[in-house]
Structure 1
Amino acid sequence: MLRHMRRLAAVLAGALATALLSLGTAGPVSAAPNTAPAGVDITGEGLAAPLRLRVDTQPAHVGAVIDQVNFLGRTGMPTGPKPADLGPKYTVVVFAGETPQQTYDLYPRAVGGPRVYRPAKQPDARKTSAGWFLGRLSMSETLRTAGVPLERQFDTVSGGAGGGERVLPEDTLDPAKDLDDALGDLQRLLLLNVGVMLTITVGLAGIALLIRRRTR
């Protein structure tokens, strides 16, 4: 009798665990799959065929691309930038084994900074909500180094979420202009110092002359 009750308790515990797991998978999807992804596929502007990245051959690139979407919250913004302000779109599909799990639309050159759009319809059929998110500043360079044909950006800060515009003004990237400005500032400083020295010299000479006259 006792053995039978223990067996029944074990069966009930297993059923409860299965139910909890099913509830967890029915909730909003996380930004990355629970198991380590086998890789990602990237399609979009300038890519004639999908760019297939797999962890067995390119683990660093796969991890960097996954990092662009693994911080997204459960709820994003309902609307994004105007279509004309989005720039080129790149769709990233995350795979576990050979099974697609999640998909995201990345806009590395959007006005105001990179954007990520998560569609409500996901390949693994789990329920989630559509939403727009601010992307990481490193999105453009991450996609470029992974093989996406994007122009290199030297002034983009790596990491962090939000923003993607130039961090430094365009004119600060001209070394010749910076040198000319520095020389001009130095010249003005030297002229100022000479003027101060002349003023002090004339003042001292005037004081000395005045003292000389009074002592006669």
Structure 2
Amino acid sequence: MVRTVRRVAAIVASGLAAGVLSLGPTTSASAGPTPPPAGVEVTGAGMAEPLRLSADTHPTEVSAVIDQVSFLANARTSADPDKSDLGPKYTVVVFTGETPKQAYDLYPKASGGPRIYRPAKQPSSRKATAGWFFGRLTMSETLRTVGVPLERQLDTVGGGAGGGERLIPEDAINPTRDIDEALSELQRLLLLNVAVVLTIGFGLAGITLLIRRRSR
């Protein structure tokens, strides 16, 4: 059962890699033998040596990393970010067997959300259009779980790529503050209700007194 799951995961990883390798303009190739298994290599801040993963032995991890860049074929480029707000850089190289094919620079801790840079110069002879993209919200946790030395990020909202604010602000996750605000609002509501009841009561008493005086 485990071998079957690994085999399916490896096939999925190879399929994702094939999709990634078609991101740039390509020329048609004649049919050939089954390509070797996909793989990825990650290098970057805090890493003493490259992290190399193959779909043969780590199919789930390879699929997860490739998924971080596989959507770029249909994604629009974004404006160039402020380089001082990008945070640590991690370069991901996608392999077919032992041959590097595509390279991407990932910035999981960028201000405003993860960013990806696709350089025009690629390891293979394929041409790519250089550009910046918004990355997936899960980028930081994905890299961390496959072995990249990143701190655990608990406030990530799952989902795909897109612009805008991508992380929940820390001050928004404060249950104590929310409870205090709710109790304060409830107290104001109760005081308002008491004031309304007293006003109605005094009004009715005044009307009753006026009617009695006129009836004498």
Q: Who is 2:62 aligned against?
A: 62
Structure 1 residues 47-58: aligned runs within 5 Å: 47-58=47-58
Q: Who is 1:182 aligned against?
A: 182
TM-score normalised by length of structure 1: 0.76
Q: Who is 1:127 aligned against?
A: 127
The alpha-carbon distance between structure 1 residues 133 and 212, as it changes in their structure 2 partners (threshold 3 A), is same
CA distance in 1, matches of 2:164, 2:88: 14
Match of 2:93, SS state, is: strand
Query: Superposition RMSD on alpha carbons, in Å?
Result: 2.6
CA distance in 2, matches of 1:125, 1:45: 27
Cα deviation code 1:75-131 (max 9, x no counterpart)? 965972232121100000111122211111101122232211112222222122222
CA distance in 1, matches of 2:166, 2:74: 29
- Displacement after TM superposition at 1:173 (Å): 0.9
CA distance in 1, matches of 2:75, 2:187: 57
Q: Do the aligned partners of 2:113 and 2:166 also contact (CA within 8 Å) in 1?
A: no
CA distance in 2, matches of 1:165, 1:87: 16
TM-score normalised by length of structure 2: 0.76
Q: Percent identity?
A: 68
CA distance in 2, matches of 1:66, 1:159: 15
CA distance in 1, matches of 2:166, 2:119: 28
Gaps of 5+ in 2: 1-21, 27-33
CA distance in 2, matches of 1:36, 1:205: 92
Cα deviation code 1:185-206 (max 9, x no counterpart)? 1111111111111111111111
The alpha-carbon distance between structure 1 residues 110 and 167, as it changes in their structure 2 partners (threshold 3 A), is closer
Structure 1 residues 168-207: aligned runs within 5 Å: 168-207=168-207
Match of 1:155, SS state, is: coil
Which segment is superposed worse, 153-162 or 41-50? 153-162
Match of 2:91, SS state, is: strand
Structure 1 residues 23-34: aligned runs within 5 Å: 28=25
Cα deviation code 1:35-93 (max 9, x no counterpart)? 68522111111111212222233322221211111111389659722321211000001
Q: Who is 2:42 aligned against?
A: 42
CA distance in 1, matches of 2:50, 2:175: 39
Q: Which amino acid aligns with 1:46?
A: G
Q: Which amino acid aligns with 1:70?
A: S
Gaps of 5+ in 1: 1-24
Q: Who is 1:143 aligned against?
A: 143
CA distance in 1, matches of 2:166, 2:71: 23
Match of 1:72, SS state, is: helix
Q: Who is 2:94 aligned against?
A: 94
Count how many residue pairs are aligned between Structure 1 and Structure 2: 187
CA distance in 1, matches of 2:54, 2:211: 90
